[in-house]
């Protein structure tokens, strides 16, 4: 009999780390992530999780600790939000380049200036170029399940994984979560085999300077220059798509829950108006889609689950029969448009898919996003498209822009 | 050698043909650091002269396992090594963080203070060549007052050297020691001792730098010696709160014949614009600190 | 011989070898030359002094009788000559004969 409890997203995250038998945790508290660190401290000090918690003095150090601990073969975990994620930015790049299977939760919160403690996705979106796999969860069940899958994925492709979920909206909201059975998780997660060798048995210097050009070693092997080493990271990300999908499928087989692999779809078979989003805004959009359908508009939702590696093929397939798209994003690439919007548009390049695509920036700094607002936006887009407006400038939803 | 004349580990862990400068004080010190630490060691260091000494991919000049890390995170990198090695049951390995004065006094101070405060079981080594030397002699908080650097090229450094030793003392460490490239046996003995102690240990190495300080490479040992002879560098150790002079400083403390600082300053190009007032301030600072150490050694 | 092996590392791990920076002996403009008749261990025919071995930043001096300096890698810093108490080592311009 599966155990179902109601719990917050942060509790789900801490339990996900516990079930994954992480060995080293290094984290610094920040709103709204704090209770993850507190719960893990409780689990570790109480003896329920056999791990070491390094109470680092900053987020930059948190990821530094994870990097070196992972290098010597320990399974590691950290979590942060917003300013904390930004503070560790150089380490985020480092972890990917070092090819370490670190799993980190990003509890999405907007970034300063000015200050906000509330939810948007600017923090994790701003990390999209670093080489991490990024997964956006739509509910608390998906958090615990995705963390477990993340270790499986990370440790087979040697790329770090960021599990993102919306601050307060999910981190502090209670939802029913079925806790995966511990033994089944142990079966699902083989032990971590590091590719890095840092041992007196075979002394090596890890992550030194690489020249711009390739350079022979004493045995005559032409070894990588910086560019080759970085190409390998890109290649790993390209190849990770198959691993992500098979991990998702195998998880579904073992635990009975399928969160959709790269993306999930809701009532898209006959949909003409597609609503798109990541995380909780996408699950909110399913309610909006139902509202629109009750008004005679065939609406569907495409929830992007994996933002990196970007699911180009999956996006092309999902939108092939769509007539219009509204992309709702809790972030913007300032100076242009929403990052998700740009990337979806780019996915259609060199295909025969020609779609009106409308971009809505919503929910910044925790502004509430209601299903009816999403539905209204989709309706107004539909009207605008009928009048010939294929690509208006991004609209800021429910924001005074006068 | 036929007999072990100096009573040190004769194994060399730095291979010839490494990338450090001619006459590099760090090179000399590091030879003995590694001899003392031996094989069951992992070092971690940030972007600094040591990065260059260890060499560029795919070859390294050092036969000890090493992990490069970002500039600010040396002590955090070490913290992760300690925790990770514990988790995989390799508790027989000594973790050593080693950074320059930039990575210790300046950018690395936060992570160092954190790791020390947590009582992390590691050795932290600061090799102090008194500037950001790897990037071409920029000023650090470890640069002495009156020194020319590429970022204090006209007026000289205005502030006195940051008292990092006092800062580290305030962390109540089980062991803190100062050493010098010019006194390799004293250095070796202290590192051998440090390896056996548990908890956060801080080792400071006074490292002369020919291009950075403006003297000929052949004088590295001489300049290092003069630093000690003048009391600018004091060789001591603090073990469980007890202060003790060692080596040449111990002799100077007993005989009371330390040299005036001018003997040290006049041999280095970086001090050529030092004012009389700055020189006097330096002498005062050296004398005050020396007397304080004499009092502590007695008590 | 062209070795057609690939770099299979997925992250940069460098292995130890001599001469990472090439033949650093090429850096010199002066080289150390030892007059063994003044070298204390040679004279005493037993282990003594060897301060040159102690102070060499490169570790390229072998504490043997007679003294051996690896000129392939010696950078010519001159510390050994400076520190030798017997003044046995002199620095000689590259291109000139010994002593």
Domain residue limits, chain C: 30-93
**Which CATH code for domain C30-93?**
3.30.70
Distance from CA of C38 to the nearest CA of B (A): 19
Contacts of B184 in chain C (CB under 8 A): 54-55
CA distances from residue A261 to A318, A322, B259, B266 in whole angstroms, order as listed? 13, 21, 74, 70
Q: Which domain holds residue B67?
A: 25-298
> What is the 3-state secondary structure of chain B?
CCCCCCCCCCCCCECCCCCCCCCCHHHHHHHHHHHHHCCCEEEEECCCHHHHHHCCCCEECECCCEEECCHHHHHHHHHHHHHHHHHCCCCCCEEEEEEECHHHHHCCHHHHHHHHHCCCCCEEEEEECCCECCCCCECCCCCCCCCCECCECCCCCCCCCCCHHHHHHCCCCCEEEEEECCCHHHHHHHHHHHHHCCCCEEEEEECCCHHHHCCCHHHHHHHHHHHHHCCCCCCEEEECCEEEECHHHHHHHHHCCCCCCHHHHCCCHHHCCCCHHHHHHHHHHHHHHHHHHHHHHHC
Give all chains having 3 or more CB-to-CB distances under 8 Å with chain A.
B, C
Instruction: Read off the pLDDT of each residue in B41-64 and give the average, rounded to a whole number.
Output: 98
Of the pLDDT bands very low, low, confident and very high (cuts 50, 70, 90), residue B3 is low
In a domain, B50, yes or no: yes
Is the Cβ pair A207, C12 closer than 8 Å?
yes
Q: Is there a shared CATH topology between the A3-188 domain and the A265-396 domain?
A: yes
In a domain, B19, yes or no: no
Closest Cα in chain A to C7: A223
> Per residue in B107-116, pLDDT tens?
999 999 999 9
Look up the CATH number of the domain holding residue B117.
3.40.50.970
Predicted complex ipTM? 0.97
- What pTM does this model have? 0.97
Tell me, rounded to whole angstroms, the distance of Cα B70 from its chain centroid. Answer: 19
Model confidence at B181: pLDDT above 60: yes
In a domain, B18, yes or no: no
CA distances from residue A369 to A114, A333, A366, A374 in whole angstroms, order as listed? 20, 20, 9, 7
In a domain, B17, yes or no: no
Contacts of A210 in chain C (CB under 8 A): 12
> Per residue in B140-155, pLDDT tens?
999 999 999 999 999 9
Number of folded domains that form chain B: 1
Instruction: Read off the pLDDT of each residue in B223-242 and give the average, rounded to a whole number.
Output: 97
In a domain, B227, yes or no: yes
Closest Cα in chain C to B217: C77
Domain ranges of chain A: 3-188, 265-396
Contacts of A52 in chain B (CB under 8 A): 83, 86-87
Percentage of chain A exceeding pLDDT 90: 97
Instruction: Read off the pLDDT of each residue in B7-31 and give the average, rounded to a whole number.
Output: 97
Chain C residues within 8 angstroms (CB to CB) of chain B: 7, 12, 14-24, 27, 46-48, 50, 53-60, 63-65, 70, 72-73, 75-79, 81-83, 91
Is the Cβ pair A206, C17 closer than 8 Å?
no
What pLDDT shows up at residue B1? 53
> Per residue in C38-54, pLDDT tens?
999 999 999 999 999 99
What pLDDT shows up at residue C1? 55
Model confidence at B266: pLDDT above 70: yes
Is the Cβ pair A68, B78 closer than 8 Å?
yes
Ordered mean pLDDT values, 10 residues apiece, chain A (402 residues): 90 98 98 97 97 98 98 98 98 98 98 98 98 98 98 98 98 98 96 96 97 94 97 98 98 96 96 97 97 98 98 96 96 98 96 94 98 98 92 94 88
Of the pLDDT bands very low, low, confident and very high (cuts 50, 70, 90), residue B180 is very high
What pLDDT shows up at residue B142? 98
What pLDDT shows up at residue A2? 74
In a domain, B237, yes or no: yes
Distance from CA of C22 to the nearest CA of A (A): 11
Please tell me the class of the A3-188 domain.
alpha beta
Distance from CA of C80 to the nearest CA of A (A): 30
Is the Cβ pair B18, C21 closer than 8 Å?
yes
Please tell me the class of the A265-396 domain.
alpha beta
């Amino acid at each position: 009999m599966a155990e179902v409890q109601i719990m917050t997203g942060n509790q789900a995250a801490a339990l996900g780390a516990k079930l994954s038998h992480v060995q080293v945790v290094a984290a610094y508290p920040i709103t709204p992530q704090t209770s993850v660190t507190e719960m893990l401290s409780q689990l570790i000090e109480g003896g329920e999780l056999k791990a070491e918690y390094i109470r680092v003095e900053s987020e930059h150090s948190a990821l530094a600790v994870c990097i070196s601990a992972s290098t010597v073969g320990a399974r590691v975990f950290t979590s942060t939000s917003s300013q904390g994620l930004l503070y560790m930015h150089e380490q985020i790049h480092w972890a990917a380049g070092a090819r370490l299977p670190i799993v980190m939760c990003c509890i999405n919160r907007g970034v300063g200036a000015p200050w906000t403690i509330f939810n948007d996705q600017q923090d994790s979106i701003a990390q999209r170029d670093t080489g991490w796999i990024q997964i956006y969860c739509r509910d608390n069940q998906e958090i615990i399940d995705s963390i477990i899958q993340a270790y499986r994925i990370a440790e087979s492709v040697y790329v770090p994984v960021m599990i993102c979920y919306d601050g307060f909206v999910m981190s502090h909201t209670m939802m029913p979560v079925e806790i995966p059975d511990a033994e089944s998780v142990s079966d699902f997660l083989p032990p971590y085999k590091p590719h890095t060798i840092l041992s007196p048995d075979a002394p090596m210097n890890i992550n030194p300077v690489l020249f711009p050009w390739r350079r022979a070693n004493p045995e005559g092997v032409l070894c990588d220059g910086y560019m080759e080493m970085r190409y390998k990271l890109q290649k790993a990300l390209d190849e990770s798509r198959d691993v992500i999908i098979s991990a998702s499928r195998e998880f579904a087989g073992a635990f009975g829950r399928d969160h959709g692999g790269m993306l999930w779809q809701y009532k898209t078979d006959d949909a003409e108006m597609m609503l798109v989003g990541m995380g909780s805004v996408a699950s909110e959009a399913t309610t909006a889609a139902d509202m629109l359908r009750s008004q005679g508009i065939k609406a569907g939702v495409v929830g992007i689950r994996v933002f990196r590696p970007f699911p180009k093929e999956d996006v092309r397939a999902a939108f092939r029969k769509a007539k219009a798209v509204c992309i709702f994003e809790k972030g913007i690439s300032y100076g242009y448009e929403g990052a998700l919007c740009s990337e979806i548009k780019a996915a259609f390049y060199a295909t025969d898919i020609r779609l009106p695509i409308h971009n809505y920036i919503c929910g910044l700094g925790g502004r509430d996003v209601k299903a009816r607002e999403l539905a209204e936006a989709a309706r107004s887009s539909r009207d605008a498209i009928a009048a010939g407006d294929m690509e208006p400038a991004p609209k800021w939803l429910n924001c005074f822009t006068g | 050698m036929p007999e072990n004349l100096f009573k040190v580990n004769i194994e060399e862990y730095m291979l010839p043909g490494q990338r450090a400068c001619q006459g590099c004080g760090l090179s000399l010190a590091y030879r003995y650091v590694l001899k003392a630490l031996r094989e069951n060691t992992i070092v971690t260091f940030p972007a600094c002269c040591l990065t260059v000494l260890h060499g560029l991919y795919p070859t390294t000049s050092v036969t000890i396992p090493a992990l490069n890390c970002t500039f600010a995170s040396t002590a955090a990198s070490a913290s992760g090594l300690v925790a990770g090695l514990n988790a995989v049951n390799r508790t027989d390995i000594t973790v050593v963080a080693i950074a320059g004065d930039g990575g210790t006094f300046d950018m690395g101070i936060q992570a160092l203070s954190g790791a020390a405060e947590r009582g992390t079981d590691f050795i932290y080594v600061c090799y102090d060549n008194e500037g950001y030397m790897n990037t071409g002699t920029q000023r650090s908080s470890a640069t002495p007052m009156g020194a020319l650097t590429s970022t204090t090229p006209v007026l000289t450094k205005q502030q006195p050297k940051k008292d990092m030793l006092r800062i580290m003392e305030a962390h109540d460490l089980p062991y803190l020691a100062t050493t010098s490239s010019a006194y390799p046996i004293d250095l070796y003995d202290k590192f051998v001792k440090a390896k056996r102690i548990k908890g956060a240990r801080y080792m400071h190495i006074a490292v002369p730098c020919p291009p950075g300080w403006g003297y000929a490479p052949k004088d590295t040992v001489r300049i290092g010696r003069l630093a000690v002879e003048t009391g600018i560098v004091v060789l001591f150790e603090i073990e469980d709160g007890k202060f003790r002079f060692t080596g040449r400083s111990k002799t100077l403390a007993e005989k009371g014949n330390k040299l005036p600082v001018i003997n040290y300053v006049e041999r280095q190009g970086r001090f050529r614009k030092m004012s009389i007032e700055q020189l006097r301030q330096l002498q005062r600072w050296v004398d005050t600190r020396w007397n304080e150490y004499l009092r502590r050694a007695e008590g | 011989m062209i070795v057609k092996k690939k770099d299979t590392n997925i992250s940069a791990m460098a292995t130890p070898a001599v001469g990472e920076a090439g033949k650093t002996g090429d850096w010199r403009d002066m080289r150390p030359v030892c007059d063994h008749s003044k070298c204390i261990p040679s004279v005493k025919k037993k282990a003594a002094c060897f301060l040159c071995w102690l102070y060499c930043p490169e570790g390229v001096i072998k504490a043997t009788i007679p003294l051996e300096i690896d000129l392939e890698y010696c950078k010519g810093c001159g510390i050994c000559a400076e520190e030798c108490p017997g003044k046995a080592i002199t620095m000689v311009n590259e291109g000139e004969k010994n002593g």
